[in-house]
A = this chain, B = another copy of it.
Amino acid sequence: MRAQQILIGELDALLRPFGLTFARYEALVLLSFSRTGALPLRRIGERLMVHPTSVTNTINRLEQAKLVIRRPNPADRRGTLAEITPAGRELVEAATAELMAAEFGMAGYDSARLDALFGLLWPLRVDAGDFAS
């Protein structure tokens, strides 16, 4: 808990100049790494493990900032796609460069320790259904 509290503080501070919170940054990254640059809101919620209404809110803010646009989902007319814009890609790349320069708040951790942490936390996430979709 305390470690996350420290990390989220640093990351949000690094992202503030970009007008992003960590939650919005995560959504942008997810879109930027998707095959087509667009995902149904449902999928975003699954991957980020957040409530549907939270996804709506996050995408609203990103849309207001013109970093994503909403499009009807051709495969399911109930649904909506969030698609990252060129401006969104530019911003997420700049933000990621900044975060990488700060080593995502984990400066001082070598690869072995990072791997060890990831491996230790993995089963917790699997049990909770992360990585499921």
User: Which residues of A are at the interface with B, using a C-beta cutoff of 8 A?
Assistant: 1-8, 22, 49, 105-106, 108-109, 113, 116-117, 120-121, 123-125, 127-128, 130
Contacts and interface: CB of A to CB of B under 8 A. Distances in A.
Given A117-B120, A120-B117, A6 B108 contact: no
Contact of A124 (B3, B8, B22, B121): B3
Name, among A4, A108, A113, A130, the residue most crowded by chain B CB atoms within 10 Å (CB to CB). Answer: A4
Q: How many copies does the complex hold?
A: 2
A1 B25 CA distance: 13
Q: Which of A22, A108, A121, A130 has the most CB of B within 10 A?
A: A121
Nearest to A105: B124
A7 B71 CA distance: 34
Residue among A1, A5, A7, A123 with the most chain B CB within 10 A? A1
